[in-house]
Amino acid sequence: MNYTYIEQLLERYWQGETNLDEEQILKSFFCQDDVPEHLREYAEFFAYAKDSKDMHVSDDFDSRFDELIAAEEGRGAERMKAIRIPFKARLMPFLKAAAVVALTLTVGGAAMRGLMQPEDLRSTDLTPVNYVKADEVKQAIETVQRSMTAKADSITGENKAIDADIKKE
């Protein structure tokens, strides 16, 4: 059998002058069982080149990769959660403080008007009688303020508890 074509192709291959189709012909030729004796020294090389293309990642690569992606996504979700919850929780003290101020003004104003007679509201002079009534009003307001302060303290305590919960998460 004449192997001139293969020999010429092989020579051009070593010179780096073959194209992909010609290189495929060489691989196919050298991967046969009946390669002539004088060309056999190169057969293993082409067999290796062909066989190497079958090398692949480990069988568990896909499952490990899925775990990696899930972990990445989990970390992303955790970051989102950490941002969202404190934002809502941090808004709460302002709302509560505003509510306490509004309640104090409303109740304080109502108590002041309730304890004063219509003529007291008109009168601005501090006669002995008016002075005593004014003292009673002052005491009533102080009582309301004390109860408001106690309420505000308990709300502050609640806020601290919320903050502690957030830090734990």
Partner 1 sequence: MKEVSFKNDILPLKDVLFRLAVRITLNREDAEDIVQETLIRLWKESQQQQIENIKSYALTICRNLSLDQKAKKEHQTESFDEEIHDQLDQTSSPDRMLENEERFGFLQSLIDELPEKQRTAIQLRDIEGQSYKDIATVMNISESDVKVNIFRARQKLKERLKSVSQ
Interaction site with partner 1 (CB under 8 A): 13-16, 20, 23-24, 40-42, 44-45, 47-49, 51-53, 55-58, 61-62, 64-65, 68-69, 72
Asked whether 96 and 159 are in contact (CB, 8 A), the reply is yes
| Integer Cα distance of 57 and 52 in angstroms | 12
Residue closer to partner 1, measured from CB, 69 or 105: 69
Least distance CB 73 / partner 1 (angstroms) = 12
3/42 with CB nearer partner 1: 42
Kindly report the number of other CB atoms within 10 A of residue 26's CB atom.
Answer: 19
Q: How far is the CB of 52 from partner 1 (least distance, A)?
A: 5
Distance between CA atoms of residues 65 and 21, nearest Å: 36
CA–CA dist 30, 25 (Å, integer): 9
Output 68 or 98, the one with its CB closest to partner 1: 68
Q: Quick one: 55 or 95, whose CB is closer to partner 1?
A: 55
Sign of CA dihedral 113, 119, 125, 128: negative
Q: How far apart are CA 107 and CA 148, in angstroms?
A: 10
Neighbours of 72 (CB within 10 A): 10
Separation between Cα atoms, residue 46 and residue 49, nearest integer Å = 5
Residue nearer to partner 1 on the CB measure, 5 or 48: 48
